[in-house]
Amino acid sequence: MEKFFTVLGCNDEQEIACANYQLEGGAETWWRSTHPILTATHPNLPWAQFKEAFHENYFPQNFRECKEDEFMALTQGSRSVLEYQQRYEELHYFVPPHMRDNQEKARRFKRVLRSTIGAIVVPHNVQRDSEVLQMAKLVEDRQRDHYIAQPRPGMRPIPMQGTGVFE
């Protein structure tokens, strides 16, 4: 949602109005009861204050700390790069502010890739998280293709398509 606000150049009041429009059910009820209290203490309610109140209500401190701990313990393990990236993004939302910039996000993502992938990705010194993700997916795809093409005991080797060579 915040990317949307940046693209549109929204001010705090517009951001809060858009967020309010998205609220439904219990969240909408929460905002109707919280809005007068917040505006009494902050007449020109900043977006950061709205967000803090929302997080405090829906993501209490102990919940956020647990998610941060999960994030810090997260490794790719046996997940595919895509599965790892999805879990990484879910938990990344809860990391402390100093870990949110693009370079830190990329550094952390590649640091805990499975060693067979990370050993190839890390030395390339890629700085953007989207580039790290694409490189990791490419390495994983190549490794999977190589594994599939490997002859197994009792099986005939599969020729590499278009080369006429057995690998």
Could you tell me the residue ranges of all domains in the chain? 2-58, 62-149
pLDDT in tens, the chain (167 residues): 888 788 888 888 899 999 889 999 999 999 999 999 998 988 889 998 998 899 889 888 899 899 999 999 999 999 999 999 999 999 998 888 888 888 899 999 999 999 999 999 999 888 898 999 999 999 999 998 887 777 767 666 555 555 444 44
pTM of the model: 0.66
Closest CA to 116 of 92, 89, 144, 88: 144
Please list, in sequence order, all residues whose beta carbon lies within 8 angstroms of the beta carbon of residue 3, skipping any fewer than 6 positions away.
Answer: none
